[in-house]
């Protein structure tokens, strides 16, 4: 016998519970409380990863971030770091940089800027250069859609690999 219907909004998702007995409601309430605690932990870990990334200019890999974040959260797993980086990237709060054969790198600076990616050691460097935003207009000349943004990566051999070819 259905005793009532409960509607709970969690993270913009409305969940409906049909209450069959008082004990069922208690179990559901405990589950929701545990889910909230887990969500708060996830948020603190996610924020820590984001802050750590924003404080770096070396475009670290997930493994590099994992090493740093473990200082604050010793029990965090590498999988949690990867999941949070994917989520932050999907939300546009960080940038994921694919380096070809090397591991993905991450950038906490989401402003429009350009990168150099070394084909040997896969390091990523921010490039300081004149404004090239006219590239959007050039690309739009023969494109019927709307270009909203762009990113430019330059590839080659970094100074370190060029000067020390046997080290990589």
Q: What is the DSSP string of 150-162?
A: ---EEEE--HHHH
8 Å CB contact between 54 and 108? yes
pLDDT in tens, 132-168: 989 999 999 999 999 988 889 999 999 999 998 776 5
Mean pLDDT, residues 80-105 taken together:
93
Percent of the chain at pLDDT exceeding 70: 74
Using 50, 70 and 90 to split pLDDT, how confident is the model at 36? Answer: very low
List Cβ neighbours of 45 (8 Å cut-off, separation of 6 or more): 69, 73, 76, 80, 84
3-state secondary structure of 6: strand
pLDDT, residue 107, reads: 96
- What's the CA gap between 137 and 124, in Å, rounded? 27
List Cβ neighbours of 76 (8 Å cut-off, separation of 6 or more): 45, 66, 69, 70
pLDDT, residue 165, reads: 79
pLDDT, residue 168, reads: 57
8 Å CB contact between 74 and 38? no
Closest CA to 125 of 90, 92, 166, 155: 155
Q: Tell me which DSSP letter residue 128 carries.
A: P
pLDDT, residue 129, reads: 92
8 Å CB contact between 61 and 52? no
Report DSSP letters for 57-69, one per residue. SS---HHHHHHHH
Mean pLDDT, residues 69-96 taken together:
94
Using 50, 70 and 90 to split pLDDT, how confident is the model at 100? Answer: confident
Mean pLDDT, residues 54-78 taken together:
95
Report DSSP letters for 88-120, one per residue. HHHTTSSEEE--TTS--EEES--SS-EEEEETT
List Cβ neighbours of 79 (8 Å cut-off, separation of 6 or more): none
**Greater model confidence, 46 or 42:** 46
**Greater model confidence, 57 or 7:** 57
């Amino acid at each position: 016998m259905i005793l009532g219907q409960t509607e709970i909004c969690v993270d913009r998702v409305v969940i409906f519970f049909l209450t069959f007995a008082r004990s069922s409601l208690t179990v559901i309430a405990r589950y929701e409380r545990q889910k909230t605690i887990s969500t708060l932990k996830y948020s603190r870990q996610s924020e820590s990863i984001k802050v750590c990334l924003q404080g770096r200019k070396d475009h670290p890999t997930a493994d590099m971030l994992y090493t740093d974040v473990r200082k604050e959260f010793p029990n965090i797993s590498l999988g949690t770091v990867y999941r949070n980086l994917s989520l932050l990237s999907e939300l546009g709060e960080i940038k994921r940089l694919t380096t070809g054969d090397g591991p993905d790198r991450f950038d906490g600076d989401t402003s429009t800027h350009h990168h150099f990616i070394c084909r040997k050691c896969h390091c990523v460097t921010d490039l300081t250069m004149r404004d090239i935003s006219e590239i959007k207009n050039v690309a739009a000349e023969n494109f019927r859609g709307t270009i909203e943004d762009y990113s430019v990566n330059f590839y080659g051999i970094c100074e370190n690999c060029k000067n020390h070819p046997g080290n990589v």
